[in-house]
Chain A
Amino acid sequence: MSQNTAKVLDHFDLFRQPEYVEMLDNKKTCFEGGRPDDEVFKIADWTRTMEYREKNFAREALVVNPAKACQPLGAIFAALGFEKTLPFVHGSQGCVAYFRSHFSRHFKEPTSAVSSSMTEDAAVFGGLNNMVDGLANSYSLYKPKMIAVSTTCMAEVIGDDLDSFIRTSKQKGSIPEEFDVPFAHTPSFVGSHITGYDNMMKGILTHFWEGKERQDNGKINFVGGFDGYTVGNMREIKRIFDTMGVDATILGDNSDVWDTPTSGEFAMYDGGTTLESAADALNAKGTIFMQDFGTEKTRDYVKSKGQEVVSFNHPVGVAGTDEFLMAISKLSGKDIPAELEKERGRLVDAIADSQAHIHGKKFAIYGDPSMVMGLASFLMELGAEPVHVLATNGSKDWQAKMQALLDASPFGQGCKAWGGKDLWHMRSLLATEPVDFVIGNTYGKYLERDIGTPLIRIGFPIMDRHHHHRYPVWGYQGSLNVLVKILDKIFDEMDKTTNIPGKTDYSYDIIR
């Protein structure tokens, strides 16, 4: 017995104690029916070969470890960005339990959303009653200012019509006639979480803008897209607008929603774009989209209302941020102030200080399509090579644009964009065409373990590290954060591979 109270052994150490090691060995040998170790290791080695890679890439039906989620997750993300808005997902209830858990595991924050809890009878007769009763319950209990309705695949397969259901619910008095209930159909079998964000954002704008006359008020709107760094990013973006003196409206501002203080009271609603400014956003001069892939429908809708539209792919780095600021300047007519130019200079300064450690390093990146584009551009700006750039939810169009971006840079030569591939594909890529580092979300730790490629955690979800979402990755300041994340890992790896006394005392430098 090894357990004791002086230093309580938990799962990290307990099961490495001899009594457990023996017990588990015995379980394996006597009861599990597995293959001999040498056969297992032989197959394990085979999974890292080119032969295996070819088989792996020949997959047509099976998806293994995808880097994407489904539409309603994105719909909830978009909806929560508005003042006192309760996301209401029409369909099976388990989905909402999953969405809430998923966000809470990333942000370490509560996430409020409800379901219409449809079951077998609703599958047969439709979910109208669930909608009617559900809206009434939500309205009474949670006193929202707006309820934003999306769907699960169940409601989509049986063909429930949100528009008519919401109308009927209002007629039946479950919520007041004038109460705001924007909606979006968000089938899980189409697109991914970023598609759901787009559909819900468009749904909300449509709800407030349709049938209204636009009168240009010279303001600017900003749409961030589905973004795991929304807390840090939105605050940074607002600071940039303030610094430039630009009158801007953030459409879908989740920064306070997923960053409420521990003050002794739970605030179910905090922050978010006010409904008045969401409605007034129709009159803006133009709208800036930070992630073109994943806001296409909203972008086209905004354009159709006569606004100017500028769309980016998650700009990170000097050139990306330069373009972003110049676009704001052009739209608003405001100059880029010296303060921001100074920040730019500091970022360039930091890159100059550190570039020797990054130049020529090879990277693999995966994540949402716009985000990986922005990160790949930044890497090339640092003189690094983004060898494998993968987006499970990247379309053919994305792949072509991503490839063009790589081909246009001397640092992108021999680099490849992979749209629609998953992390089991990535595993083969890393095994057969090794790189120095992989950039991705938490699930990348399996790649790090299996292949040995060190993981730099940037993306969504990050569930095994805390608080990264509080720091921006946009703007010059955000780019600096990204640079430091990358550098920290590079230096950590240098130290990890040079720390054996008597063997590698050299290179274990105190100054780098």
Chain B
Amino acid sequence: MSTDVKTRNQELIQEVLSAYPEKSAKKRAKHLNVYEEGKPDCGVKSNIKSLPGVMTVRGCAYAGSKGVVWGPIKDMVHISHGPVGCGQYSWASRRNYFIGVTGVNAFGTMQFTSDFQEKDIVFGGDKKLDKVMDEIEALFPLNNGISVQSECPIGLIGDDIEAVSKKKAKQIDKTIVPVRCEGFRGVSQSLGHHIANDAVRDFVLDKVDGKASEFVSTPYDVAIIGDYNIGGDAWSSRILLEEMGLRVIAQWSGDGTLKEMEATPKAKLNLIHCYRSMNYICRHMEEKFGIPWHEYNFFGPTKIAESLRAIAALFDDTIKEGAERVIARYQPLVDEVVAKFKPRLEGKTVMLYVGGLRPRHVVGAYEDLGMEIAGTGYEFGHGDDYQRTTHYVKDGTLIYDDVTEFELEKFVEAVKPDLVGSGIKEKYVFQKMGLPFRQMHSWDYSGPYHGYDGFAIFARDMDMAISSPVWGMTKAPWKK
């Protein structure tokens, strides 16, 4: 990017910082930067407590565990343990698609809660939890297990959910997973992912270790890790892996089941999409079972082809040929999509603010359509995310970590991108400004965006947002 843009971005950062009280400005300064090419990271601090009172976009550990990692495991009942709210607001809102008979053998779009009352806070909720599990067993006999997703009060009142879970697991002879993901733990969703990963390790993988299993392995067994099947993402990814000759034995956790999780140590390779939320369990499986893991990116044809080849390189020639076959097979579709949409999107600029892997992973998909990323940032990224981001962004890109709504609004006002990609809380703010917007958490109720099939949808959606006639109507004609 030109020196002008870099200077403008630097000035912009100074401008937003000047609105804060001195102490807070100092803290926020560490999270905002203009990327300089050649640097090993983006030059921002991350994974630090949000400032109080600034309207952070971040959520909590419970959101990271129940909402992200555990919630999509469809054949288990996930109890939102504590007051009613957390489970209510996160009820079915994340679009982790699954196939099953809801309420009978699948529970992904239901809200189970122990609905804490004052007496549970005062006297403790362990007895209630015990009874909740009995009632789940009585009414939902085809559940394959239960997880306890702790809400804030659990850790504060000294409940022993581990003891209750252990006792009930023995009693009903099913997997029961206590998760200490109280919302006050850590600084964002991120610690919730980690805690949830640890719970998988302790209460799923450790339990199957050593048990004889009828599982028949093949040399091509892989697991998809860190794909939540938003709008069917994991499905439009799985199909490519299978077409190239691999056998997907598990999906974590979109459309996933307990049995798939248990089978994962049999995989020859773990393929991880959302590094942020599931790297922990991959590292564990590498250490304990010797399973290598590989990060891939299925957004946009360039990255998909790169990823397919890199995955294939870890297997024999059959798979390598398979990868080339898949790439060639989809090339006409890619050409068609690019031919149709690139001329309409070429040169358009995008500002992103999302979580997980998307602040970097989707960059390639935009570039495949000729679009440019003017700014990006992570809700709950760590240093390793910002290092990985350097492979994606260009010199001069505005970088903002744990951005506040105030900052994001000011940045967008000044940068004037052609498209903003962020979440539901941001969507309407920017649309009021007359800016095209796509929710990049829920795919704005569309999707899938992963894989070649997903790329066609992604391209259509970005074009639809930018080309909508509505953006030309924001000013009354008599005001022009």
Contacts and interface: CB of A to CB of B under 8 A. Distances in A.
Interface of A: 1, 3-5, 8-11, 14-15, 19-20, 23-24, 27-28, 31-35, 39-41, 43-44, 47, 52, 55-56, 59-66, 68-73, 88, 91-95, 97-102, 104-105, 108-120, 122-123, 130-131, 133-138, 140-142, 152-154, 157-158, 187-190, 192, 260-267, 424, 427, 443, 446, 449-450
Interface of B: 19-21, 23-24, 49-63, 75, 82-86, 88-93, 97, 99-105, 109-118, 120-121, 128-129, 131-132, 135-136, 138-139, 141-142, 144, 151-153, 155-157, 183-187, 189, 231-232, 235-236, 238-239, 242, 248-251, 255, 257-260, 263, 329-330, 333, 336-337, 340, 404-406, 409, 423-434, 446-448, 452-453, 456-457, 460, 470, 474-475
A61 B119 CA distance: 13
Contacts of A97: 56-60, 63, 425
A161 B102 CA distance: 43
Contact of A15 (B232, B452, B475): B232
A123 B184 contact: yes
A66 B99 contact: no
A92 B189 CA distance: 12
27 contacts: A20-B235, A23-B242, A31-B257, A33-B258, A61-B131, A62-B114, A72-B85, A93-B56, A95-B85, A97-B58, A97-B63, A98-B89, A100-B425, A102-B88, A108-B428, A110-B432, A113-B55, A116-B52, A123-B184, A134-B52, A136-B53, A142-B55, A154-B183, A263-B474, A264-B432, A443-B91, A446-B103
B118 A189 contact: yes
Contact of B232 (A11, A122, A446): A11
A101 B156 contact: no
Contacts of A265: 432-433
Nearest to A188: B83
Given A14-B448, A189-B120, A267 B432 contact: yes
B428 A116 contact: no
B53 A114 contact: yes
A137 B54 contact: yes
A43 B142 contact: yes
A61 B112 CA distance: 11
A104 B75 contact: no
Nearest to B448: A11
A412 B116 CA distance: 33
Contacts of A95: 60, 85-86, 183
Contact of B144 (A23, A33, A61): A33
A395 to B, nearest CB: 13
Given A98-B89, A264-B433, A117 B51 contact: yes
B53 A88 contact: yes
Contacts of A99: 89
Contact of A68 (B88, B110, B156): B88
Given A135-B53, A265-B433, A98 B59 contact: yes
B409 A266 contact: yes
Contacts of B259: 31-33
Contacts of A122: 184
A63 B429 contact: no
Contacts of A188: 82-85, 116
Given A40-B142, A94-B61, A187 B118 contact: yes
Contact of A91 (B90, B152, B336): B152
Nearest to A2: B453
A11 B8 CA distance: 41
Contacts, number: 351
A111 B425 contact: yes
A91 B152 CA distance: 10
A33 B333 contact: no
A34 B90 CA distance: 26
Contact of A123 (B23, B56, B156, B257): B156
**Residue from A41, A99, A142 having most chain B Cβ neighbours under 10 A:** A142
**Residue from A19, A34, A39 having most chain B Cβ neighbours under 10 A:** A34
A295 to B, nearest CB: 20
A265 B151 CA distance: 38
A65 B433 CA distance: 37
Contact of A63 (B84, B90, B105, B138): B84
A8 B236 CA distance: 14
Contacts of A114: 52-55
B428 A104 contact: yes
B426 to A, nearest CB: 8
Contacts of A93: 50, 56, 58-60
Nearest to B53: A134
Contacts of B153: 153-154, 157, 189
A5 B337 contact: yes
B56 A117 contact: yes
A133 B156 contact: no
A94 B136 contact: no
Contacts of A134: 51-53
Nearest to A449: B102
A136 B21 contact: yes
A452 to B, nearest CB: 14
B428 A31 contact: no
Contact of A94 (B21, B59, B117, B430): B59
Contacts of B115: 63, 66
B75 A32 contact: yes
**Residue from B139, B255, B260, B433 having most chain A Cβ neighbours under 10 A:** B139
The 5 closest A-B pairs by CB, nearest first: A94-B60, A33-B259, A70-B85, A134-B52, A134-B53
A35 to B, nearest CB: 6
A62 B112 contact: yes
B52 A131 contact: yes
A260 B84 contact: no
A149 to B, nearest CB: 11
B53 A47 contact: no
Given A55-B138, A97-B57, 11 more contacts: A14-B232, A47-B104, A55-B139, A56-B139, A68-B84, A94-B183, A119-B184, A120-B184, A140-B19, A157-B156, A262-B470
Contacts of B151: 153
Contact of B432 (A92, A133, A262): A262
B163 to A, nearest CB: 17
